């Protein structure tokens, strides 16, 4: 998530905490994440734009925190699920690690992320699917095809 990535590398009060949590393959506390998302939206013209929030929510606590902080001031009309195998994700992230400089791009952290996804995020995706707002995208396709599928799914919202 851009907001969290910028924050963790900024040297700010939360930067080191965020960096350490992400390095361990854990989830940044919802209060910090929601406040960063809200602040980023406010700083970029809250009502004048629509936003795509990447990689959030990741668990039930995130959903609860989002609802407490943002529910009265935001509308979530669509949720994307980029479906990609763990093998393909590992291959891509390990390739990214060659130039990213991220300390969390390593096999140990990836295994923790995959385990967390299977234990917590699948449940969240299913909850949004029950609301009829999940759009499943085949993320193993080419970048161009994934982008085209996303644009098509967003057509009624932008």
pLDDT by position in tens, the chain (length 158): 444 444 444 456 678 888 888 878 788 889 898 988 888 898 988 877 888 898 899 899 999 999 998 888 888 999 999 999 999 999 999 999 999 988 889 999 999 999 999 999 999 999 999 999 999 999 999 999 999 999 999 998 87
* Per-state percent for the chain, helix, strand, coil, to nearest 5: 60, 5, 35
Q: Supply the pTM of this predicted model.
A: 0.79
pLDDT for residue 2: 41
In the numeric block, the tokens 């700083």 are attached to 43
44 burial level (CB within 10 Å; 0-12, 13-18, 19+): exposed
pLDDT for residue 26: 82
Three-state SS string over 1-27 comes to CHHHHHHHCCCCCCHHHHHHHHHCCCC
pLDDT for residue 107: 92
Domains of the chain: 1-76 (3.40.50.300), 78-158 (3.40.50.300)
DSSP states of 28-56? PPHHHHHHHHHHHHHHTTGGG-----TT-
How many residues would you count in the chain? 158
- For residue 120, what are the CA distances in angstroms to 109, 112, 113, 116, 133? 16, 12, 10, 6, 18
pLDDT for residue 117: 92
């Amino acid at each position: 998530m851009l907001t969290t990535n910028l924050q963790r590398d900024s040297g700010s009060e939360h930067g080191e905490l965020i960096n350490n949590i992400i390095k361990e393959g854990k989830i940044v506390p919802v209060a910090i994440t929601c406040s960063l998302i809200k602040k980023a939206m406010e700083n970029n013209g809250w009502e004048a734009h629509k936003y795509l929030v990447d990689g959030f929510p990741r668990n039930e606590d995130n959903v609860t925190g989002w609802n407490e902080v943002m529910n009265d001031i935001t509308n979530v009309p669509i949720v994307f699920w980029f479906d990609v195998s763990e093998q393909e994700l590992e291959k891509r992230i390990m390739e990214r690690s060659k130039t990213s400089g991220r300390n969390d791009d390593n096999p140990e952290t990836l295994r923790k992320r995959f385990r967390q996804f299977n234990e917590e995020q699948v449940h969240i995706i299913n909850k949004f699917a029950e609301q009829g707002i999940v759009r499943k995208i085949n993320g193993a396709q080419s970048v161009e095809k994934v982008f085209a599928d996303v644009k098509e799914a967003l057509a009624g919202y932008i």
